[in-house]
Structure 1
Amino acid sequence: MKQKTIYVEINIASDIETLWEYTQNPHLHKEWDLRFSDITYLHRLPDEPQRFLYETRIGFGLKVSGTGESIGDIRSRSSERVSSLAFASDHPLSLIKEGRGYWKYIERDNGQTAFLTQYQYETARGLPGSWIDRFLFRPLLSWATAWSFDALRLWIEQILLSELHLEASSDGGLVITSGRQWLLIGGKKIPLSAWLCGSSTVYEAYDEEMNCFSIKVHVKNRILGTLFSYRGTFRETEGETC
């Protein structure tokens, strides 16, 4: 069963050099990308692909690990860059067997840089794995990619940085919670006191009876209480509501 590729695109108010650093530096990358809880670059020789190890926390104290390699294409005097990626996992809990994709950077004349990704992967576990991927894992992974890209945009464009923790709930949903938060001033990370922070919780799950996704968002402050809350549903097909 052939699954469609995952594609996400966003415009960020940034020059291409800054965006490249935030996405190619593993210490910065894991700060904004929900799909990875840890990324470790391995030693390489000149002109070799950059190989790396990754880990993703899936809740209940469990982790999924894998390997990958990337090649960055930097062309002098060009407003575009491409970074290709191949990844694989033989971890017993991983639904992804192997895959590949790319990141593309396009610097615009308006001071923004378009950042886009497209990737595809082969699932493990045969037919059951393909069905789980089609109806649950792939839509959630697509959503997590889009959420991560927006977190990157907010980090670069604004002065607030927050940890994000991704876990699977007992009913198969996706739970994202915020952690420590910092102000970014002059390239320095200044920790925020707990009473200044907004604690965020996002829950998303697929409702089989309604054939759509449900989402709940709650943001609160230790002193002020609830700052924002939202509950709604959506389908993956663009323009369709439920």
Structure 2
Amino acid sequence: MPLYNDQAVVLRNWKLGEADKIISLYGVEHGKIRAVAKGVRKTKTKFGARLEPISYLKIQCWEGSSELHIVSQVESIELFPRIKSDLELLRKGLAIVEVIEELIGDSTGDIEIFKLLVRALDTLERRDSPYLLSGFLWRLLQVEGVSPELSCCVECGEPEGLEFFSNSGSGLVCSSHGSAKRISKGAIEVISYISQGEVARALALGDSPVRLEVEELAISQVENLISHKVKALHLGSY
């Protein structure tokens, strides 16, 4: 079995047998990794603590003959203690890693996705923003090839009267196709900032009803793409 090294963020873990855990990670080079951590449930060790969700690690794994690899060594890069000690920050952090777990398929690593994931967790650890979660979701959708059309109606190309947002069309629609969800000018402006790469501008905004609107639209887009709800995105108010 070949041995490899990578940097990875823990997305999820679950029990295996009486003593082991399966760990789901997203790595720089290997993308989605599922690996067995042997014996971590028998004793309380730093090794096991590092393999909890929202942990950024250097890992060494044996590549197994099946889809499950075997964790050999881990070293902490950042464990995000502030996120894990604050319930509201933890909810956001769990939402971020669960979206990666649900949305990103098994493939080789994507450095843009990895940087986006680590940057979102690092920002959450240092200074939370009302728009952090929605900013992360809209940027991730863009990386996955789902960019919202904000300049004209996705149904007919009309550039005026854009008052609604279509989940199925991933963009604005005019009043002639107004069966979609109504969207405010403020929400269009914020989504435009994020889509144009001005995420810092969005993160600097204070909380308002627009934040909830932008967030709900992003969540709907993600869940429309994967065809089911992401549980962590509905754990109370963000």
TM-score with structure 1 setting the length: 0.30
Structure (1 or 2) with the greater helix fraction? 2
Indicate the structure (1 or 2) with the bigger Cα radius of gyration.
2
Which structure has the highest strand share of the two? 1
